[in-house]
Amino acid sequence: MSQTTLHQFLQQRGSKEPGLNALLLQITVACQAIAKQVEQGALAGIIGSAGSGNVQGETQQKLDILSNDILLQECVKEASLAAMASEEMETIHPANANGEYLLLFDPLDGSSNIDVNVSIGTIFSVLRKKHQGAAHENDFLQVGREQLLAGYVVYGPQTTLVFTLGQGVHMFTFDHQTQQFVLIKENIQVQADTKEFAINMSNMRHWAAPVKRYVDECLLGVEGARQKDFNMRWIASMVADVHRILCRGGVFMYPWDKRDPTKPGKLRLMYEANPMSWLIEQAGGASINGTQSILDIPPEKLHQRVSVILGSKNEVSRIQNYHQNG
């Protein structure tokens, strides 16, 4: 069987902008280095807390910081890159003043799963710098629909890369023998209907009424309004939950809840919600904050949080309906 490597794929069906293809390759170089550390685990001394907090007040794991450093170190080498922003850094990190792209990343998604050997990943998003000269923080504040490239690498039983350049979603698995990412699925489509949902049920008492109604109906199964039984999965790594949805459908929710009504959600718009929403939409699914498409939300600040509901189109539209019509 002839195999298509990521390099070959980008030559044949990549972006018309060579700098964007080069940046994607450079991101995968960083992710390969992160994957090596993840595989070594305790042997590489990467398990456990770093004893520090990030700008959002979350405790950082050693691997959060290490992954962030690897991405900075590798991606700065790419001449087309102007600057980077990360969930783990308060302000932006300049790369090359003449560069034309802006890179945003969640260097390590699923921090609570690092120490227990459950799938984790890196999520990335690329925007255009729209002027000459050095990049500023404001340049990053673009709606999700303006993304040029979005994707993730999941470090699970396999190391798998998934990305979109705006023309479908493609999946590659890392082959340790050849040290190459190899194409395994092109133009992935998320099925429109599903019988599987993902939400952290321990927050149930804090949910808003539309989310509670949706989940209650799923739980009633064949005996309720939905007239079918549902299954539930919650990996607690968005990257792995979204990967499952791209592979076999489903709906993922980390909605706004009443714990802190001033907080729009837990997940971050720029590093998590936007790239995942674009991937899901590119694969025929949908993504909302409850009422509005996530990709249309104008960001006000880099570390903005948002309510996220995404996945199989008909389920997401049902949940949107519950939000709009009660």
The reply to whether 311 sits near ligand AHG by the rule CB under 6 A is no
Q: CB–CB of 151/124 below 8 Å?
A: yes
Token output for 144: 């999700």
112 binds, among Mn ion, ligand AHG, none (CB under 5 to 8 A by kind): ligand AHG
The SS3 of residue 323 is: helix
Which residues within the stretch 73-92 sit at the binding site for Mn ion (CB under 5 A)? 87
Smallest separation (angstroms) from ligand AHG to the CB of 106? 5
The reply to whether 109 sits near ligand AHG by the rule CB under 6 A is yes
100 binds, among Mn ion, ligand AHG, none (CB under 5 to 8 A by kind): none
Give the nearer residue to Mn ion in terms of CB position, either 59 or 138: 59
Which residues within the stretch 189-208 sit at the binding site for ligand AHG (CB under 6 A)? 200
The reply to whether 111 sits near ligand AHG by the rule CB under 6 A is yes
Q: CB–CB of 80/69 below 8 Å?
A: no
Q: What are 105's strand-pairing partners?
A: 86, 124
Q: Which of 29, 33, 219, 236 binds ligand AHG (CB under 6 A)?
A: 236
Q: CB–CB of 63/118 below 8 Å?
A: no
215 binds, among Mn ion, ligand AHG, none (CB under 5 to 8 A by kind): none
Strands of the chain (E only): list them: 49-53, 59-61, 81-86, 93-94, 101-109, 120-128, 149-155, 159-164, 169-175, 180-185, 196-198, 231-232, 251-254, 267-268, 286-288, 305-306, 308-311
Q: Which of 6, 149, 238, 316 binds ligand AHG (CB under 6 A)?
A: 238
80-105 in b/e form (b: 16+ CB < 10 A) is bbbbbbbbbbeebbebbeebbbbbbb
Give the nearer residue to ligand AHG in terms of CB position, either 100 or 109: 109
Q: Which of 98, 112, 158, 167 binds ligand AHG (CB under 6 A)?
A: 112
**Which residue type occupies 258?**
K
Q: Which of 15, 28, 237, 312 binds ligand AHG (CB under 6 A)?
A: 237
* ∠ CA 173-310-263, rounded to 5°: 115
- Interface mask toward ligand AHG for 134-173; x: CB under 6 A: ----------------------------------------
Which residues within the stretch 91-120 sit at the binding site for Mn ion (CB under 5 A)? 106, 108-109
Burial of 161 (0-12, 13-18, 19+ CB in 10 A): buried
Give the nearer residue to Mn ion in terms of CB position, either 76 or 238: 238
Nearest CA to 289 among 208, 226, 215? 208
Which residues within the stretch 53-82 sit at the binding site for ligand AHG (CB under 6 A)? 58
**Which residue type occupies 224?**
G
The reply to whether 49 sits near ligand AHG by the rule CB under 6 A is no
Give the nearer residue to ligand AHG in terms of CB position, either 99 or 121: 121
In this chain, which residue has its C-beta nearest to Mn ion?
Answer: 109
Residues that bind ligand AHG (CB under 6 A): 58, 87, 106, 109-112, 200, 236-238, 254, 266
Residues that bind Mn ion (CB under 5 A): 87, 106, 108-109
